[in-house]
Structure 1
Amino acid sequence: MTTKEERLSFLEEMSDVRRIKRPNQADVQASRAVTPGHLERQRAAVNETPRDANPLTGDNVDPLKSHDVLAYQRPGIQHGVYRKLRLGQYPIEARLDLHRMTVEEARREVFSFINECLAHGIRSALILHGKGERNPDGIAQLKSYLAKWLPELEPVMAFHSAQKHHGGTGAVYVMLRKGERDKQRNRERFGSK
């Protein structure tokens, strides 16, 4: 509670305060004036093409047939690790199906899929690309592009066409590098720095 003296003291301090004559509302009307800055921003927005962060390219792709086997490993991958991948002995932690996609859609999906796998600590994945057997020219288009794209992605350590029960030459096993979290866990587990 306030005392009578406190109230009088407050009123005395506030004696020269005057009420604001304007209504207590914000002016939300957008300015109709076109400024040089506005024109410059508008010109830059029209002229600027959005930068594509996806590094996957579509140039000079070697055409592959439906039964061609995809195989790739970066230097330093142990023979036994690659053999297990080739034989489909690692658990498939994620799948991506590219069937019925255009090359551009597949390009975006592969890039996004690999980044999501890396973010979630996934080490082995399966990508279903199809064999292209229905194509009149016999070229497996998505498979051909995938064979070029996967080595371009730094997190991809190795890949190999899948075993028959996982799609055979219409699918590919992909091994990704360890994320920092998994590396740290191994350091703690095995006592190395």
Structure 2
Amino acid sequence: MQDKNDDVLAFMAEMSDVKPLAQTEHVTITPQETSLAQKLKREALEREEAKLAYQLTLELQEYLDPYDLLTHKQDGIQEGVYKNLRLGKYPIENRVSLLKMSLVEARERLIQVIEKAYEKGQRVILIQHGLGLNSQPKPGKLKSYINVWLAQFPQVIAFHSAHKQHGGSGNTYVMLKKNPQQKLINREKHQKRY
């Protein structure tokens, strides 16, 4: 017990010349202005993080033939839904052209379009990528990348090369899953009321 009292007395002796801070009723916050350079740097970092999040590669081992059909659907997608997508029966809510873009530009544009379309609740978009008959080092380069990239987006539940009326196999229908707001609206719409 003596040791504790000695410790307390020693502590009090050391703290004898310490004065409490004055209490103020105002807290001063100085707003930090973000410079244009800082904003641009942050936006560039966010774009890089998005690319990394999707793991959209710029190195392919195998290229498709320019006339190959792009086709993909996640497990659980109903055959009827996929068939209607394949036949171009759903209204196209957004179109984006990636023609004459570098791979880096096309990848960034694809990320932007899919994220914005998903946020807006768009379900079907049309990607124009062309056949790539004259692309180097091999024909069908961008089309091959689109095939790999689209399958890596969590928002994309299915895609298929477009029907002739929408540009044929140089274009691709992309079906996005419902965003949370759409799911809520759908749930309320179909909820049975007693």
Shared topology, TM-score over 0.5?
A: yes
SS in 1 for 2:96: strand
Equivalent residue, structure 1, for 2:11:
none
Equivalent residue, structure 1, for 2:22:
none
How many angstroms apart in 2 are the aligned matches of 1:143 and 1:61? 14
Contact residue 159 and residue 175 of structure 2 kept, 8 A = yes
Deviation, structure 1 residue 165: 1.6
SS in 2 for 1:183: helix
Render the CA deviation track for 1:111-137: whole Å, top value 9, x for unaligned.
110000011100000000000123376
Contact residue 125 and residue 173 of structure 1 kept, 8 A = yes
Runs of 4+ in 1 over 3 A off after TM superposition: 135-138
Return 5+ residue gaps in structure 2 as ranges.
1-40
RMSD (Å) for aligned C-alpha atoms:
1.9
1:44-193 matches, cutoff 5 A: 50=45, 52-53=48-49, 54=51, 55=54, 56-135=56-135, 139-191=139-191
CA gap of 1:191–1:107, structure 2 versus 1, over 3 A, is same
SS in 2 for 1:91: coil
Deviation, structure 1 residue 58: 2.0
Who wins on radius of gyration, i.e. which is larger?
A: 1
Deviation, structure 1 residue 138: 5.4
Deviation, structure 1 residue 161: 0.1
CA gap of 1:101–1:90, structure 2 versus 1, over 3 A, is same
SS in 2 for 1:160: strand
How many angstroms apart in 1 are the aligned matches of 2:170 and 2:161? 7
CA gap of 1:60–1:66, structure 2 versus 1, over 3 A, is closer
Equivalent residue, structure 2, for 1:13:
none
How many angstroms apart in 1 are the aligned matches of 2:136 and 2:148? 22
How many angstroms apart in 2 are the aligned matches of 1:158 and 1:62? 21
Deviation, structure 1 residue 66: 1.5
User: More helix per residue: 1 or 2?
Assistant: 2
Contact residue 66 and residue 138 of structure 1 kept, 8 A = no
Deviation, structure 1 residue 89: 0.2
Contact residue 126 and residue 172 of structure 2 kept, 8 A = yes
SS in 1 for 2:114: helix
SS in 2 for 1:95: strand
TM-score, normalised to structure 2, is: 0.70
Aligned length: 145
Deviation, structure 1 residue 59: 2.9
Letter of the 1:115 partner, please give it: E
TM-score, normalised to structure 1, is: 0.71
How many angstroms apart in 1 are the aligned matches of 2:132 and 2:138? 7
Letter of the 1:177 partner, please give it: K
